[in-house]
Structures are given as C-alpha cells and as structure tokens.
Amino acid sequence: MDANTGNYSSSLLVFMQMDGVISKIFPTFSIEKNLHFCGVKLRDPSTVLLAGNGGTSEFGHQYLLKWETGEFKKIAGGKIANCHDMMWAYDGDATWQPGSSSEGTIELRNASTGRKISVTKLEPYAKDVNHAQPIEQDSVVIASSRLTNAVIKANVNAGEVKWVAGGEYGEFEMHTLKGETKAAGENMFVGQHNAEYFGENEYMMFDNNYKTGNTSRLLIVKIDVDNMRMTELWEYINAPYPWGYTPYFGDNDRLPTGNLLGCFWPYKLSGKEYEEVDYEARAIEIVRDTKETAWKMDVYGRNSCSEHVCTRQSAEGWKMYSIERFYVAPLVYNVTCATDDATNAIFFNTINNFKQNDQYEGTYKLKNDDGSLVVEGDFNYLAHWRSTPVSFQFDSTENDSNEYVLSVKNQWGDETPHSVTC
C-alpha cells in the first residue's frame, strides 16, 4: 500500500515451496488494473479459485487459475462480488461467498453467469462477513462476522440461523484461557478474520482484537452446543501490544500435522527492545502442543525503524490477507501389515492434497513387487483435513512375495505409492 495515496500500488500472488523456492509468482496488476485477491481456495489440485478486490472496494471479479501454467480465466459472467472469501459448491457449477457487507448475507452464485441462486440473510447477527464456509454438503454455512464479533452457523436450506457464538447476539457462556467466565452477549474475540470449522467442534481464527488495546492472536475455540458453552482452547501471540497488533486481515488454519498455519502483519514496528518486529508481513507454522515455530516466512519492504515504536503510516507496505497450504498428492503414512497364517491386514492413514469441507472418495490398490494386482478398494477421505484411517484384509498366495506396493489415489487421479512388507 502507498502511504501517500492509501491505495495499493502492487500485489503478488505467490506459490512457494516449504524450503522457500518460489514455484510461481503472479503480479496481479498485470491481470487487471488495481486487482488483488483476498479469497484464495483450491478448486482442485491444479486449479485455484480467486476472489478479486478492485483497489480497496472489497468487491471485484472472480477468476479460476491453472497455477502451474499461469492461465487465468474470469468467471461469473464478469460480474463483481464480495472479495473476502469464495468456495466451490459441493455439487454443480456454483460458488459460495459473502454478499452484502451491511446485511450480512451469504450467496450461492452460478459460476458461469454470476446469477444469484440463493441468498441467506444473517442480519442483524452478521455484518461484514469475511469467511463463509459451506459444510454438510452445502446445507449449512459457518460465517465469520467481523463487525458483530461472532461466528454463526446457519441452515441455508431453511434460511435460518442455528446459533451465534460471541458478540452482542451470542448465545453461549464463554470460558477463557485465563480462567474467566464471560456471559452470553460479551466478546471473546473482536474483529476476527477467517474463522473456520476444522472438525471435532473446533474453530480456528485470527483474532485481531480490533481497537481493544490488546495484541492480536491465533485462536482456537471449542463450541459445545449441547451445554451452550464456548471455550478458548489455545492461542498464539507473536509479540506484545502494540507490535503484535494486526488491525485487519489475518488467517489461522489447522494443518494435517495438527500444527497451525497463520499469517499477519504488524501495524507498528520496533527498532529497539523488539528488534525482530521489523518485517512487514509474516507467515508462520506453530506446533500446537509446544508453541514452537516449525516454519516461518517474513516479508520485508521499504519500512525501517530505529525507534522503540514506529507506526506504519496509512498501514503502508506489504500485507497478507490469508494463506493456504496444499500438496501435489495425497499424504500416506503409518503403513503397517499384520499377518495371521495366510491372511494379511494392511493399515494406513491418509489425508487428501488440500482441506475440504466434506467427505470425498479415494481408492487404494495393493500390488506385488512385480506389479500384479493383489487387492483394491475404496474409502472416503474425512472432511476438514482430518486423518483418515483405512484398513483391509487379503489372503496371500504362494505366488505372492512379502513385498508389496500400496498406491492411494484421490478423486482427481493424484496418486501416492508406499512400500509395505508383510
């Protein structure tokens, strides 16, 4: 962002490997004037769904990107829409995304024409929805409402709100990590971004703590609907206030390892005492149990600071709205074989290339070391990037060796082989 104009002067969409090698980088202003992307989601392993923002309007065009070849395709009939989030529908040629910021709507749109198929109104419970997550085969949406400090679950088929967690309209008693109890209607998080359900009643978010005088944080809460309770389970604070404060943007996702992947940017820098806060944006992976840093990437720009506190005028410099991790093939691990006479049992765990909100089909094949097929079958990947346990039995023959190759394939044909001995 340019400090003199308050407008964005450059924007990059970056695909980077874990070791820092940049696979692809796309200057988004070369695609469309003043274009940058807020919502970034995988449509499939080679295609990314992008929600564009024209300048600082928070509305723009949507694109599909073949990220390996750099082919951008404008979709939705060229109509503009809310840029904060965008997800492909469970079935059919359609996308989910926030709609009107003031009315707190969630829209299902035809991906080819941009026609609104349905609109779910969440007012007065929601305003400025910055994350809209369809689950349960698109019958339910989890919404992150920034201006009402709430996470909302809504039945989109019935058009009704099921519950509200946090904020003025919140229904749950709240328990903090400090041992405090807050009544329904109070705030547990303020101005949060990208609150998302990751299974097992856990919701991950970036809690900006907007204008509270407190530092921002990666936050995990558990929502117990039966007992009408929301409980803070975990937080990570990068730096004390004011250096750890990010007034807007930010992300916090659960990875297959259970680690947390987040991004944020410091509104104030430091050249004394907290000298490490001299970057303009940071992406970080944190081990949940120990809060150790597993991986980190810092982005530096023209800002510098030699004082104890330096404010970024008009928040100039580089920022990140969100971050996603994905793999080029399914993860396969914990592969073991148990043998009982002539019967063998294979056990393994698998996780798909990227996070998905519903179960999707996968297949496996077990072959001898000469390539001959022993057995094949199918299973369903669990939703929300949770580890999927799979097991099967087979009878060995005198022609079989005790060395096999297990191959696991997802719905797109991406395949991961793994050797196993019985």
Instruction: Report percent pLDDT > 70 for the chain.
Output: 97
Same domain? 392 vs 270: no
Query: Could you tell me if residue 13 is inside a domain?
Result: yes
Q: What is the pLDDT of residue 399?
A: 66
Number of domains, the chain: 3
Same domain? 220 vs 300: yes
Which of the four pLDDT bands, split at 50, 70 and 90, describes residue 314? low
Supply the mean pLDDT for the chain.
94
Same domain? 46 vs 103: no
Identify the CATH number of the domain in which residue 409 sits: 2.60.40.10
Domain termination site, one of 276, 311, 346: 311
Q: What is the pLDDT of residue 5?
A: 60
Query: Could you tell me if residue 326 is inside a domain?
Result: no
Q: What is the pLDDT of residue 328?
A: 94
Same domain? 247 vs 336: no
State the average pLDDT over residues 153-169. Answer: 95
Which of the four pLDDT bands, split at 50, 70 and 90, describes residue 400? low
Q: What is the pLDDT of residue 69?
A: 97
State the average pLDDT over residues 357-372. Answer: 94
Q: Which residues contact 227 (CB under 8 A, 6 or more apart)?
A: none
Tell me which of 35-39, 90-94, 227-231, 273-277 is least confident: 273-277
Same domain? 64 vs 211: no
350 bridge partner residues: 332, 388
Same domain? 177 vs 75: no
Q: What is the pLDDT of residue 4?
A: 60
- Is the predicted pLDDT of residue 3 greater than 90, yes or no? no
Same domain? 192 vs 301: yes
Query: Could you tell me if residue 323 is inside a domain?
Result: no
Q: What is the pLDDT of residues 273-300, one digit of tens each?
A: 776 899 999 999 999 999 999 999 999 9
Same domain? 135 vs 215: yes
Q: What are phi and psi of 76, to 5 degrees?
A: 60, 30
Same domain? 159 vs 226: yes
- Both tokens of residue 85? 């989030």
Same domain? 141 vs 64: no
Q: What is the pLDDT of residue 304?
A: 85
Query: Could you tell me if residue 321 is inside a domain?
Result: no
State the average pLDDT over residues 105-114. Answer: 97
- Least Cα distance to 414 among 369, 363, 373 occurs for 363
Q: Which residues contact 184 (CB under 8 A, 6 or more apart)?
A: 170, 171, 172, 173, 174, 228
Residues in the chain: 422
Q: From the CB of residue 121, how many other CB atoms can be counted at a distance below 10 Å? A: 17
Query: Could you tell me if residue 319 is inside a domain?
Result: no
Q: What is the pLDDT of residues 70-97, one digit of tens each?
A: 999 999 999 999 999 999 999 999 999 9
Same domain? 70 vs 109: no
Domain that holds residue 300: 88-311
Query: Could you tell me if residue 325 is inside a domain?
Result: no
Q: What is the pLDDT of residues 384-393, one digit of tens each?
A: 999 999 999 9
Which of the four pLDDT bands, split at 50, 70 and 90, describes residue 177? very high
Q: What is the rounded CA–CA span in Å between residue 148 and residue 169?
A: 8
Q: What is the rounded CA–CA span in Å between residue 71 and residue 124?
A: 40
